[in-house]
Structure 1
Amino acid sequence: MAFYKRSRVKDAGFRRLIPLLLVVLLLVFLLVFTIRTSGIAHMFLGSEDGLEDEGLAWDDPAVVLDVKGEVKLPRQTQLSLSLEKRNDLPPRNLDLFPKLAKDHVKIVLYVHNRPQYLQVVVNSLSEVEGIGETLLIVSHDGYFEEMDKIVKAIKFCQVKQIYAPYSPHLFRNSFPGVSPGDCSGKDDPLQKKCKGDVDQYGNHRSPRIVSLKHHWWWMMNTVWDGLVESRGYPGHILFIEEDHFIYPNAYRNLQLLIKLKHQKCPDCYAANLAPSDVNSRGEGWESLIAEKIGNVGYTFNRTVWRKIHSKAREFCSFDEYNWDITMWSTVYPSFGTPVYTLRGSRRSAAHFGKCGLHQGQGQSSTCIDNGVASFQVEEIDRVPNIKPSWNIHFKNNQGGYGAGFKGWGGWGDKRDHELCLSFAYMYHNMTPSLS
């Protein structure tokens, strides 16, 4: 009987604890849910590739997003609207590649209208070791049928196509294309009775020129903060262009560089597949190289994106139509510390071609040169050729564009500044989700 009474007392005590345990479990659930939906789950749970964000503190005031601006987007055309709807379509080839590797590095290829070049980079990507493990996002500056056809034929990995819905190439009679009454060249607004703001050299906007910077900025904001497949993704993303040749070892080398960056160069912002000097093949040393971020095969994570995004006003107001020169001349210098990228001493990607992004349209041979055929893939380019035991050589006082350069112009119209800022603000009400 005594034993029976003691058991009843214990049971009663346990029953009294049940509500408390349920409350505790509920609080834990709510805490985890709040962390995940706030877009900072990786701060506590670790990033998708098993690496924490390197070197750059999440409580750094410099990484607070500037998302308080007004979104002023142009009225869309039917083509613009139809392309925007395509951006919501799921990736293709899910039947061939149903899952992404846990430690995958997403790849973004941004293109305009050079199909001969695009075919070269697509062919080179098809030979990359590990390409089937990841997602390839192709960002189109407008719509060009031949470019679209080449991308749709890709079968070597998951492929997601997105189209810049506010590309000037989609607006023939209105901003951001040419609006009726717009000034051009060095027109005198009073004499010509036209409108528009001039750049620092007295030139009015050219839609085909400003599309360079608009596309890059729209793409960055969309990939990091807009797409279901990548918003909230804490890992690294590789960015390449339609005139970049990618070597077979690029992906495996990149995975090594990301891990080594975390271990050996926590102050490095990025990893690069090629030297910042696009004409260099690399030093060939048994050493890692830390230098300024190049524009061929650069890779960074969400922490770095937050720092870049916090400088949206500087990026959008700097009178320079090239996104990369804008970054080198005003955004990176504003961080207050040297901005290094980590790379191997032998390139795993290369820039080819001699004509500019918007030259030679409609001329089948204008943008083709013998540089494409000159790439010789050696055995060392087929396997990872970076060793974790290597030390790092820092390149200081590098030449090229930097703080103090005032820009080449082409970006003086206030409408372009406002559109650029609208791209920075257009996703700020969206709830991030981990993919």
Structure 2
Amino acid sequence: MAVSYRKSRIKNLGFCRLILIVIFGAVFLLLLLRANTFTDLISRYSVESDDDESFGSNYNYSVSFSKNLKLPRQNELSISLEKRNQMFPRNLDLYPKLAKNHIVIVLYVHNRPQYLRVAVDSLSKVKGISETLLIVSHDGYFDEMNKVVEGIKFCQVKQIFAPFSPHLFPDGFPGVSSSDCRDKDDAVVKKCMGTPDQYGNHRSPKIVSLKHHWWWMMNTVWDGLKETSQHSGHILFMEEDHFIFPNAYQNLQLLVKLKPKKCPDCYAANLAPSDVKSKGEGWESLIAERMGNVGYSFNRTVWRMIHRKAGEFCSFDDYNWDITMWATVYPSFGSPVYSLRGPRTSAVHFGKCGLHQGQSENAACIDNGVFNFDVEETDTVPNIKSDWGLHVYKHQSGYQAGFRGWGGWGDKRDHQLCLDFAKLYWTSKAGVV
């Protein structure tokens, strides 16, 4: 009888413990949900799984914007594009796996399909392109640009669309509003909205979209996408008017590998000289110089440093993202920001002849739809040597700390939207801006 009673009591105690465990588990789950971290934990787990690179049929990653942000009210197009951003990459059937140490390529574009076709064609000839992921970031939505990207078959490709691009809002901020001040309007006299820049000019949505898109893209690529939110290696960034050589990817892999040893103080690796007119020195030496804006790459450590300077980036009165970086963000790091590159360019900045590149006979340009830059034999194979020394350009011309900016970025609403972009994907993490 005593034995039977003891067994019954043990069973009851076990059952009570089970009930307590369930209750504590439920309370813990509710606390996680209230802290808005549960989704983040799930996404982190899925990102770190062994099958991350294949993104199988269970792909269900989504990002919720914080209710505390002062984002503009979205319209139907903006909402639909935001949903498209959560779709998995195309061509997974052709390229189901990414290389272990791949370098992600990000191509950011606006609405120049003639240029985009040249850039995409150059990418299709890059050796090693099939092993990586190409992300195309659109500033707005344009049918012809979309068709060009949808035709890409040489690698995994993912499209993302800036859901708060001024080009999506024809009737209000961040686009054009009937109540906005224009040109040099006096806000008091005209009873219009807007804060002028340092030169007295009010915002132009088409101009401010350049800086907004770059900043939104950076925050989204590094922190808002399942495909890249845990990517610790380099990411290469290029624009629709950048032509990339067949050896570019392999050269970049070499630069990334050599950087810790050859230039430990370098923040990035570049495919092209900072002087867009230059083809390089042709020396048998690696080059360390200021960060360029053509074919530049860096890792998450550098992005974290940039992200912490959101206040400086978003308040500097210049509509150019690159000039903003050179004049205020990089100088705030406290030491020269060098980028490592080879002595011969692997990428060029092209445009309408005479517009971007001047009249140099070596200038790359498009004239009547034809790209006129010759790719030589050495541009088809890796041409960087691991035994080369390093030449450092310590004193370089260009925009420096103290430059006031070209203006175009004085409206407080643009400053706020920019700051909100910096917080989009950090609301459920410890490092809130």
Bin the TM-score by the shorter chain. 0.7 to 0.9
- Which residue of 1 is the match for residue 278 of structure 2? 280
CA-to-aligned-CA distance 1:147-184 (integer Å, 9 cap, x gap): 00000000000000000000000000010001221001
**Contact residue 133 and residue 157 of structure 1 kept, 8 A:** yes
* Alignment-mate amino acid for residue 233 of structure 1: H
State how far apart, in whole Å, the 2-side matches of 1:138 and 1:174 are. 26
How far has the Cα of 1:407 moved from its partner? 0.2
How far has the Cα of 1:374 moved from its partner? 2.3
- The unaligned stretches of length 5 or more in structure 2 are 1-39, 46-51, 53-65, 356-364
- Once the two structures are superposed, the pairs formed by residues 95-134 of structure 1 within 5 Å of their partners are 95-134=93-132
- Which residue of 2 is the match for residue 44 of structure 1? none
Question: CA RMSD, aligned part only?
Answer: 2.7
- Which residue of 1 is the match for residue 89 of structure 2? 91
Q: Would the alpha carbon gap of residues 191 and 429 (structure 1) be closer, same or farther in structure 2, given more than 3 Å must change?
A: closer
* Alignment-mate amino acid for residue 108 of structure 1: V
* Alignment-mate amino acid for residue 202 of structure 2: H
Is the partner of 2:301 in helix, strand or coil? helix
Identity %: 72
State how far apart, in whole Å, the 2-side matches of 1:132 and 1:352 are. 24
State how far apart, in whole Å, the 2-side matches of 1:395 and 1:268 are. 12
Q: Would the alpha carbon gap of residues 192 and 80 (structure 1) be closer, same or farther in structure 2, given more than 3 Å must change?
A: same
Is the partner of 2:371 in helix, strand or coil? helix
- The equivalent position to 2:137 in structure 1, one of 123, 136, 139, is 139
- Which residue of 1 is the match for residue 390 of structure 2? 392
| Larger displacement relative to structure 2 (307-316 or 422-431) | 422-431
State how far apart, in whole Å, the 1-side matches of 2:275 and 2:369 are. 16
The number of equivalent residue pairs is: 367
- The equivalent position to 1:421 in structure 2, one of 413, 419, 424, is 419
- Which residue of 1 is the match for residue 337 of structure 2? 339
- Which residue of 2 is the match for residue 204 of structure 1? 202
* Alignment-mate amino acid for residue 334 of structure 1: S
- The unaligned stretches of length 5 or more in structure 1 are 1-35, 42-47, 49-67, 358-366
How far has the Cα of 1:93 moved from its partner? 0.2
**Contact residue 70 and residue 425 of structure 1 kept, 8 A:** no
- Once the two structures are superposed, the pairs formed by residues 33-432 of structure 1 within 5 Å of their partners are 71-354=69-352, 368-369=366-367, 373-430=371-428
Q: Would the alpha carbon gap of residues 339 and 120 (structure 1) be closer, same or farther in structure 2, given more than 3 Å must change?
A: same
CA-to-aligned-CA distance 1:38-72 (integer Å, 9 cap, x gap): 9999xxxxxx9xxxxxxxxxxxxxxxxxxx99521
CA-to-aligned-CA distance 1:195-241 (integer Å, 9 cap, x gap): 11000000000000000000000000000000000002111000000
Is the partner of 1:110 in helix, strand or coil? strand
**Contact residue 183 and residue 194 of structure 1 kept, 8 A:** yes
Displaced runs of 4 or more, over 2 A: 36-41, 354-357, 367-374, 429-432
Q: Would the alpha carbon gap of residues 69 and 342 (structure 1) be closer, same or farther in structure 2, given more than 3 Å must change?
A: farther
**Contact residue 39 and residue 431 of structure 1 kept, 8 A:** no
CA-to-aligned-CA distance 1:9-60 (integer Å, 9 cap, x gap): xxxxxxxxxxxxxxxxxxxxxxxxxxx969999xxxxxx9xxxxxxxxxxxx
**Contact residue 93 and residue 155 of structure 1 kept, 8 A:** yes
CA-to-aligned-CA distance 1:246-270 (integer Å, 9 cap, x gap): 0000000000000000221111000
State how far apart, in whole Å, the 1-side matches of 2:264 and 2:199 are. 41
How far has the Cα of 1:375 moved from its partner? 1.2
- Which residue of 1 is the match for residue 20 of structure 2? none
State how far apart, in whole Å, the 2-side matches of 1:155 and 1:309 are. 33
State how far apart, in whole Å, the 2-side matches of 1:82 and 1:40 are. 25
* Alignment-mate amino acid for residue 117 of structure 1: Y
Is the partner of 2:89 in helix, strand or coil? coil
* Alignment-mate amino acid for residue 175 of structure 2: G
TM-score (ref. length: structure 1): 0.80
**Contact residue 168 and residue 207 of structure 1 kept, 8 A:** yes
| Larger displacement relative to structure 2 (173-182 or 84-93) | 173-182
- Which residue of 2 is the match for residue 27 of structure 1? none
Q: Would the alpha carbon gap of residues 119 and 334 (structure 1) be closer, same or farther in structure 2, given more than 3 Å must change?
A: same
State how far apart, in whole Å, the 2-side matches of 1:418 and 1:69 are. 15
**Contact residue 183 and residue 201 of structure 2 kept, 8 A:** yes
TM-score (ref. length: structure 2): 0.81
**Contact residue 43 and residue 226 of structure 2 kept, 8 A:** no
Is the partner of 1:208 in helix, strand or coil? helix
More relative contact order in 1 or in 2 (CA 8 Å, sep 6+)?
1
